[in-house]
């Protein structure tokens, strides 16, 4: 049982290219250095029957994950020796004996993931952006379907704050309207000169962004909007066809049907002046990018005033291009072995239970995962940049079949579902691949 910060690693699983650093490579090397793996088996994972419970993506963290393999654990200090050979951002919490047939991936009953999201991600689309015009047009054509958003006033008050700081209307037009026109026409707006110094335009952009960033940090989500987001996340609970929430899957592909046991959204909390929420998703198994697409879709329906039930429409046959939210906020909380723990105890083994390491895991999450997420967002503005990119996305590649790529967020949408799916159906046979 282990935890890790995924920053700087190309995911959990060993890659064919030895230049790509992975969690498994570093972990396996530490096992060998600590004497937990024999010298003759130290160069081949397969010789040790190595398997991981969850194959996390590049940059994705885990407070708890499980690997199963043959280890030499007679040394009572073996865990300390392994941790001494590991970097501080990878920790082994404990080692448990299991029966010979145990496979940590196949025997896993379910998995819990956490996603941290700054609440300003739920602000409505930027005024005059492509997505803003799409929603405005849809409201005009189909009145009464899309919700009105009181947070639209936030954009007005932020603009006024810029004006109060001494920035003129013409300068704001230069930064927003002209820069967006330049983006559409593929015209470069230089922020720096040939010497690497900020141009007057670059200085103006910096002033505008500084004011907007301060306003975003001060944004506080309303209880009404937070409950809308909770309702959106609850649309995922049950057994559904998640073909639109991954890559390379078609409608009714048996492998795209997944069972979500529960979702929860915390009360907002303040970190370094900015407001965040913690989202937890407990599911039987997950596909590539599934969680990040689930988070993005829930955010989009809240941001645009789209009916919350549009998420359920995504389980239908119509193919939808749902972006994936940044990897930055995602971490694996832990795999769960409810069913297999019963068998382990019957055989005289300890259950695989992370609750015994809760204190250490929480301290590790705060220092090596949460703080890194908050710091990177503060420095890079990952979430702000992501949703701003979606708002502005209106190039030739943004349209498919004559429609805007985000047309599914409008008032009129035909899912093709026709009530074919029973969202309250029993849990399906467990899919064993888990890759997010």
Torsion angle defined by CA atoms of residues 72, 43, 92 and 293, in that order, rounded to the nearest 10 degrees = -140
Residue 368 is assigned to a ligand binding site = no
d(CA 364, CA 359): 9
57 catalytic? Reply is yes
Catalytic residue (choose from 17, 25, 44, 57): 57
Catalytic residue set: 57
Which residues are annotated binding-site positions for substrate? 113
Task: Report the binding-site residues.
Answer: 113
């Amino acid at each position: 049982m282990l935890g890790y910060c995924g920053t700087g690693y190309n995911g959990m699983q060993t890659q064919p290219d030895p230049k790509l650093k992975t969690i498994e490579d570093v972990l396996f090397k530490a096992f060998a250095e600590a004497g937990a793996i024999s010298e003759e088996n130290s160069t081949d994972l397969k010789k040790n029957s190595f398997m991981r419970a969850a194959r996390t993506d590049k940059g994705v963290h885990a407070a708890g994950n499980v690997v199963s393999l043959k280890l030499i654990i007679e040394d009572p200090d073996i865990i300390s020796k392994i941790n001494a050979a590991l970097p501080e951002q990878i920790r082994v919490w404990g080692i448990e004996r299991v029966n010979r047939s145990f496979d940590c991936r196949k025997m896993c009953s379910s998995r819990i993931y956490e996603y941290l999201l700054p609440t300003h991600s739920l602000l409505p689309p930027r005024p005059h952006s492509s997505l803003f015009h799409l929603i405005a047009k849809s409201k005009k054509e189909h009145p009464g379907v899309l919700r009105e958003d009181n947070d639209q006033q936030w954009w007005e008050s932020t603009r006024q704050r810029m004006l109060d700081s001494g920035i003129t209307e013409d300068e704001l037009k230069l930064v927003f309207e002209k820069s967006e026109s330049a983006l559409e026409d593929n015209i470069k707006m230089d922020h720096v000169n040939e010497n690497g110094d900020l141009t007057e335009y670059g200085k103006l952009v910096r002033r505008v962004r500084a004011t907007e960033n301060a306003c975003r940090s001060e944004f506080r989500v309303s209880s009404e909007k937070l409950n809308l987001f909770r309702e959106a996340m609850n649309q995922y609970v049950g057994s559904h066809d998640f073909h639109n929430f991954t890559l390379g899957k078609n409608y009714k592909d048996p492998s795209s049907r997944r069972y979500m046991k529960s979702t929860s959204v915390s009360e907002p909390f303040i970190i370094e002046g900015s407001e965040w929420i913690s989202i937890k998703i407990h599911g039987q198994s997950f596909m590539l990018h599934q969680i990040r697409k689930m988070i993005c879709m829930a955010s989009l329906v809240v941001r645009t005033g789209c009916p919350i039930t549009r998420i359920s429409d995504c389980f239908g046959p119509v193919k939808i291009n749902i972006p994936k939210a940044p990897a930055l906020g995602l971490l694996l909380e832990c795999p769960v072995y409810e069913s297999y723990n019963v068998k382990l105890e019957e055989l005289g083994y300890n259950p695989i239970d992370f609750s015994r390491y809760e204190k250490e895991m929480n301290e590790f999450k705060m220092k090596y995962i949460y703080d890194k997420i908050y710091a990177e967002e503060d420095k890079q503005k990952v979430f702000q940049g992501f949703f701003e990119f979606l708002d502005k996305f209106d190039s030739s590649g943004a349209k498919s079949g004559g429609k805007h790529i985000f047309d599914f967020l409008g008032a009129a949408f035909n899912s093709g579902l026709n009530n074919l799916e029973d969202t309250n159906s029993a849990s399906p046979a467990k899919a064993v691949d888990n890759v997010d």
